[in-house]
A and B are shown apart, each in its own frame.
Chain A
Amino acid sequence: SYELTQPPSVSVSPGQTARITCSGDALPKQYAYWYQQKPGQAPVLVIYKDSERPSGIPERFSGSSSGTTVTLTISGVQAEDEADYYCQSADSSGTYNVVFGGGTKLTVL
C-alpha cells in the first residue's frame, strides 16, 4: 500500500526556520497537503496543493515540492507553532484512497 514518510520529530528555537519533509513515490503526480494539530484539537489545513496557503494561515507557513519530497517550511517559528504536522496525499493507483504521513512533532525549544 502507498505510504508517506515524515520524520518523527523536528526541534527548533524561536525565530528560526523549521523544515518538515514528507516523501512518497506518487508525489510527483499528486499534490500534497499539510495539517497542523495541537493537543486535544482537530487538524487544521495550513497548506494545500503543495504550496497554497488558506486564508487566515500566517505567511510564515509555506510549502514546496521537489520530486518525491514535499516540504513544509515555517519561517520565524513561534512558540504557538509547536504542534504535530501531518502531510496528506492520494494514492494514484486508482483506489481513491487518501493517505496521511505518520506525523511530525515540532518542538519549539
Chain B
Amino acid sequence: QVQLQESGPGLVKPSGTLSLTCAVSGGSISSSNWWSWVRQPPGKGLEWIGEIYHSGSTNYNPSLKSRVTISVDKSKNQFSLKLSSVTAADTAVYYCAREVVVVVAATRERWFDPWGQGTLVTVSS
C-alpha cells in the first residue's frame, strides 16, 4: 500500500524559507490522486496548506497562498513544499498525505488517506 515519508530541516530561521519533501512509495505519484500538505501547530488543530496533481496543477489555502509553493518531481516519485517568510507561528508538525478526489453531483469531494508520519519544523533563531 501507499506510504509517505516527509523529510527536511527541523529548524528554520525567522524570515527564511521552510522546505520539505514527501517521498511516495508503494504507488505512483502519477496516479489519479492529488497530494497534499497539512500542518499542526503544537497542541492545536489541523490546517490544510495546499495540494498538487502530477500534472503540476495546484490549489492553496487562501490564508497561506502568498507564501506557499508546492511542486512535484515525477522522476523521484515525490512532491515538495516551500513556505517563505516564516515566523514562529509557522512552527508545526508538517504532514504530507494522499488526497482522494471524486466528483459527486458536480461537487469536488476530497479526503486524506494515508498520511505520512509527520515532521516537526521549528522556526527559531
Q: Separation in Å of the B40 CB from the closest CB of chain A?
A: 9
Partner of A96, one of B46, B63, B108, B118: B108
Chain A residues near B25 (CB, 8 Å)?
none
Which residues of chain A from 89 to 109 have a CB within 8 Å of any chain B CB?
A: 90, 92, 95-103
- The verdict on A29 contacting B116 (CB below 8 Å), with A1-B63, A43-B46, A95-B62 known, is no
- Contact partners of B73 in chain A: CB under 8 A: none
| Nearest CB in chain B to that of A41: its residue | B117
Chain A residue nearest to B6 (CB atoms) is A42
In the complex the two chains form, is A45's CB within 8 Å of B109's CB? no
Chain A: interface size category: 20 to 34
Does residue A79 face the partner (Cβ distance < 8 Å to B)?
no
B48-100, CB < 8 A from A: 48, 51, 59, 61-63, 95, 100
Residues in chain A near residue B118, CB distance under 8 A? 42
Q: How far does the Cβ of B105 sit from chain A's closest Cβ, in whole Å?
A: 9
In the complex the two chains form, is B109's CB within 8 Å of A30's CB? yes
Chain A nearest CB from B22 CB (Å) reads 12
B13 within 8 A of A: no
A88 within 8 A of B: yes
Interface of chain A, main secondary structure:
loop
Q: CB-CB contacts of B101-119 with A at 8 A, as 1s and 0s?
A: 0001001111111111110
Decide: B110 and A98 in contact? CB cutoff 8 A: yes
Asked if A54 is at the interface of the complex by the 8 Å CB criterion, the answer is yes
In the bound assembly, the distance between CA atoms of A88 and B95 in angstroms comes to 15
Structural contact, A97 and B109, CB atoms closer than 8 A:
no
Residues in A whose Cβ lies below 8 Å from that of B47: 100
B71 to chain A, nearest CB (A): 18
A49 CB–B CB distance under 8 Å? yes
Which B residues are in CB contact (< 8 Å) with A61? none
B107:A92 contact, CB within 8 angstroms: yes
B109 in contact with A100 (CB, 8 Å)? no
Kindly state the separation between the CA atoms of A98 and B110 in the bound complex, as whole angstroms: 8
* Chain A residues within CB distance 8 Å of chain B: 1, 29-31, 33, 35, 41-45, 48-49, 54, 86, 88, 90, 92, 95-103
